[in-house]
Structure 1
Amino acid sequence: MESLFQKHVETFTFYDGEGNKIERNTEVRFDPLTGESSRLVFDTAMTLTAPDYTEAAEKSGGANCPFCPENVHKLTPVFPNEIASEGRISQGESIVFPNLFPYSKHNGVVVFSKDHYVRLQEFTTTMIKDAFIAAQTYIERVVATEEKDDVYASINWNYLPYSGGSILHPHLHVVVSESATNYQSHFERKARAFKENHGQDYLTYLLEMEKENEERWIGEKGNVAWVHAFAPKSHNDFLAVFPKAVSIDDIGEQDWTDFAEGLQAIFSTLTEQGFASFNMVFTVSNEGSPVHARLIPRLTLGGLDTSDINFFQALHLEPLSYKSPEDIAEKARVHFLKK
């Protein structure tokens, strides 16, 4: 089989004001499954400072937050009896309730805990595990009671305002839809073609190759493996794969614990670099591919708090990264081994 990892280097030559020659490379990498390109551009090595929302948390928490414990049972809606006879789904401190402004036919919101502002390093294994078990329970009940045909399920996380999160209190969005998102449909179509052409599942093969070459391999905990994407969608791009789970039903409590511990290592890697915010998607394929999650940081650039998304990402649909996937994987391995 031809190597999964294809790239092309372009060199820009120019001169400084004193006539000294400067050469800088842009590396164009191609996603091993989809063929979509990403650009690794010159790293300015700027120092990032994680935002502190302590003051904002004091103003927006407690009586002012619908997700805080004094309000969550009064201000949030409830599910039909067939989904939750008690109105909402609970797991530990986590609570699931309907989204007032849904993105799909079924859209639950999972509040992690009673804490209004949780920094990356403050997320515990139990907190993460319980929130994802609660999300899993919601998906399973929807599928069992209301959806007999194929649906497209995902668990999604916008953490802090840079990511698009509009409420500081940590929460997940659980989406079960009759229509696939572009990411889901594109992944399934390409994964199906890969299996037809090569006789094996793409994600399973990817893990084998990454573990063998070690460049972007991060580590395994139980039945959850972590790698950094070859063609990243941002300055970091972490992929978690559950190789033995092709359905949300295949994931047990220990798997969620292992996932949570791996995620804590990723959080430490983000914190080390000055990142505080991220987007994450956890998605289930209808094509028999393993369940997987993908996480990218969100940030602002420079003194003007410039968005990290410009014309390249928004309109050319081509991600940019200032960071080398291999360097970030090396950082992540250090934190992963500590867990």
Structure 2
Amino acid sequence: MILFRQERHRRLFHNPLKNFALEEQEVEIRWDPLLGHQAIFNPILEDKKRLFFGEHDWDLVKRLAEEGRSQCFMCPEKVRSATPRYPEDLIPDGRVIRGECTLFPNLFPVGLYHAVVAVGEAHYRELQDFSASLLEEALEASLFFINRVFGRDGEAQIAAVCANYLPPAGASLIHPHFQVYISRESPPFVARVLEASLAFYLKWGQNYWEALVREEESQGVRFLARMGRVSFLASFSPLGSNEVLGIIAEEDPLSFEDLDNLARGLSAILKGYQALGYGTFNLALYLSPRNHSLPWFSPHLRIITRQNLYPAYRTDDYFIQRLLGAELIIMPPEKLASSLRPYFTQVEPR
């Protein structure tokens, strides 16, 4: 039913770095069980990770943060006075405030609704400093906003909570923030996932995401942890570097009784990413259309690392990803899972 398809090919060539000695290298191709997306792995690349990602320079991040701090409208002295506000009939007081987190309209929206969530008061954070309680506040503010929009605008159909952290991941500001994207129609990738999930359900009579959790938990090598009704696992054929999935077994997609567990798992992943030498990430939390509980779809989180930040860093997104639609694996998902798994026992208690 769920096929973890992979192929290995061995190739010979004379390597000039080894005095033209004959060398054999292996290339492994994996296919995503739902979408058929390809991920490609050459074990040699794992040993040369620094050539691809460099060493993340937290001192450089701190310096850039200090240079931009005076202009940052997400810092506490400005976020509740200088940011835009929603109309009172949509959001009382114009902004959503949860603890240290403040949600407000994006000045340059790209969706039917497009909000920004300032994640905490600190102008910059290392990945290990994203606490579970802080992430829960940010997620709670985001879901409250989505519920308000869905309750008042019949055109709003699709919602996602997303994040770009630091410039290599697409962020224009250093200050940590989430973005809430709401649209009339599904973005292309979301549409693919929904269509494939429905097709799997019609063929097999089962929810793909629930079946995936059962299969991965039984195999164990990529399964990270189950926290309440949220299951975390390393993707077999990732859509981005070091991808982790958080799959939510939730009857009411936006009530999220296990929101704390989603935040605790996300905090563990970020701590693990930093321990592995990464400092940037993208994430997306995909919700069920229009807050409907669907038998064939489960809300889920995807998070990936991006290129590290250092002077003259290179992009990690090139022809393989953008023009061929495949992904390059630097660390096998099974090894990623074994590296991240310990951090799920270290997150803040509930």
Q: How high is the TM-score relative to the length of structure 2?
A: 0.91
**Is the aligned partner of 1:60 residue 2:42?**
no
Q: CA deviation at 1:133?
A: 0.1
CA 1:44 to 1:241, structure 2 compared with 1: closer, same or farther past 3 Å? closer
In the alignment, what sits opposite 1:144? 151
Contact 2:6 2:31 in 1 (8 A): yes
Distance in structure 2 (CA, Å) of the matches to 1:245 and 1:128 = 22
2:260 is aligned to 257
CA contact (8 A) 1:279 1:297 kept: yes
Aligned to 2:14: 15
- Alignment-derived partner of residue 205 in structure 2: 199
CA offsets 1:80-127 (integer angstroms, 9 cap, x no match) = 122112111111121111001001011111111211111111112211
Among 194, 201, 213, the residue aligned to 2:219: 213
Q: Counterpart of 2:246?
A: 240
Deviates further, 47-56 or 131-140 = 47-56
Q: 1:65 to 1:206 in 2, by over 3 A?
A: same
Structure 2 runs not aligned, ≥5 long: none
8 Å CA contact 1:246–1:284 kept in 2: the answer is no
Match of 1:116 in 2: 123
Aligned counterparts, 1:1-12, within 5 A: 1=1, 3-12=2-11
1:337: how far off?
Answer: 2.7
Give the fraction of aligned pairs with identical amino acids, expressed as a percent: 28
| 285 and 93 in structure 1: CA distance in 2 versus 1, 3 angstrom threshold | same
- Equivalent residue letter for 1:102: P
Matches within 5 A, 1:286-301: 286=289, 287-288=294-295, 289-300=297-308
Bigger drift between 12-21 and 187-196 goes to: 12-21
> How big is the shift at 1:21?
1.8
The 2-side partners of 1:142 and 1:23 are apart by: 57
The answer to whether the Cα contact below 8 Å between 1:234 and 1:297 also exists between their aligned partners in 2 is yes
Greater CA deviation, 194-203 or 118-127?
118-127
| Counterpart amino acid of residue 125 in structure 1 | A
- Any conservation in 1 of the 2:32–2:237 contact (CA below 8 Å)? yes
Question: Using the alignment, how far apart are the partners of 1:245 and 1:57 within structure 2?
Answer: 41
Q: Secondary structure at the match of 1:129?
A: helix
Q: Distance in 1 between matches of 2:332 and 2:26?
A: 13
SS in 2 for 1:191: helix
**Residues 124-203 of structure 1 mapped to structure 2, 5 A cutoff:** 124-146=131-153, 148=154, 151-203=157-209
- The alpha carbon displacement at 1:277 in A equals 0.2
Letter in 1 for 2:66: E
Report deviation, 1:164: 0.4
Match status 1:313 vs 2:321? yes
Matching residue of 2:38: 37
Aligned residue runs from structure 1 range 98-113, under 5 A: 98-113=105-120
Tell me how large the CA RMSD over aligned residues is: 1.7
Alignment of 1:260-339 (within 5 A): 260-286=263-289, 287-288=294-295, 289-300=297-308, 304-339=312-347
1:195 is displaced (CA, Å) by 0.2
Distance 1:293 1:95 in 2: 21
For the residues of structure 1 that align with 2:234 and 2:188, how far apart are their CA atoms? 21
Encode CA deviations 1:314-339: one digit per residue, 9 max, x unaligned: 11111111110100011111222333
TM-score normalised per structure 1: 0.94
**8 Å Cα contact 1:151-1:179 kept in structure 2:** yes
For the structure 1 residues 27 and 75, does the alpha-carbon distance in structure 2 shift closer, same or farther, using more than 3 Å as the test? same
Distance 2:130 2:178 in 1: 14
Q: Give the distance between the partners of 1:328 and 1:177, measured in 2 at CA.
A: 34
In 2, Cα distance between the equivalents of 1:226 and 1:330?
Answer: 12
Query: Does the aligned pair in 2 maintain the 1:246–1:291 contact within 8 Å?
Result: no
Partner Cα separation in structure 2 for residue 179 and residue 110 of structure 1: 23
The separation in 2 between residues aligned to 1:302 and 1:323, in whole angstroms, is 21
Alignment partner of 1:307: what SS?
coil
